[in-house]
Structure 1
Amino acid sequence: MKTKEIAKIASVFFFIGLFSTMAVAGDDADPRKGKYLWKKNCQTCHIEGEEGGKLSPSTKTQQQWNSFFESDHAGQAQERCMKYSENDLHDIQHYMYDHALDSDQPETCS
């Protein structure tokens, strides 16, 4: 392959990755707020032996977190717990995605 062809292919993959990451929770998502909301409200039920079962960002891959939030499992679960706005759910989704099992920085501690 020629250098120009390799550069074009690399550019395509770069932009695909960039746009797929941006599509996760939108440009306005705040993963720091998502972490705060998760730790303050969700994590208390999502530990070993509790009703919600053990759950943390690194228990799922990025695609699994996307599927979880797209299928409205998070919305169903929150009916039993805290009431979040759509923006809050996007923030939590972005935090979970950023620290998923297959991310660059998986969340290993709760």
Structure 2
Amino acid sequence: MAVEGGNSRKGKHLFKKNCKSCHDTGGEGGALTPLTKTMGQWDRFFEKQDHPGDLFKSMSEKDLKDINQFLYDHAADSPSPETCG
């Protein structure tokens, strides 16, 4: 179940810009990279939009799809897993 309509390249940029500050090692949200979850787990997370706080509410649907696509494409069980270095 892959996300449709997302741009992985843009998603990586958006993840670094909007997410990494809280989800870096030692950040208040805990370390989080694409490798943290499987492809299916990332899709379920974005389907539920279960992010604490208002970040998801303040982002466009397109930006969320792009971030989801990046995380999905590089998840632990994907053909090309990676961190967000």
Shorter-chain TM-score above 0.5: yes
Q: Report the CA distance between 1:48 and its aligned residue.
A: 1.9
**TM-score (normalised: structure 2):** 0.87
Q: Distance in 2 between matches of 1:65 and 1:109?
A: 15
CA RMSD of aligned residues (A): 1.9
Aligned length: 85
Q: Distance in 1 between matches of 2:8 and 2:56?
A: 20
Aligned position for 2:48: 71
Superposed counterparts of 1:51-62, under 5 Å? 51-62=28-39
Structure 2 residues without counterparts, runs of 5 or longer: none
Alignment-mate amino acid for residue 66 of structure 2: D
Superposed counterparts of 1:6-45, under 5 Å? 20=1, 24-26=2-4, 28-45=5-22
Listed one character per residue, the Cα deviations across residues 24-78 of structure 1 (whole Å, up to 9, x for unaligned) are 221x3211110000011211110122111100001100011011111112xx336
Alignment-mate amino acid for residue 44 of structure 1: S
Identity %: 48
Structure 1 residues without counterparts, runs of 5 or longer: 1-19
Q: Which structure ranks higher in relative contact order (CA pairs < 8 Å, sequence separation ≥ 6)?
A: 2
Q: Which has the higher helix share?
A: 1
Runs (4+) off by over 4 Å? none
Aligned position for 2:78: 103
Greater C-alpha Rg: 1
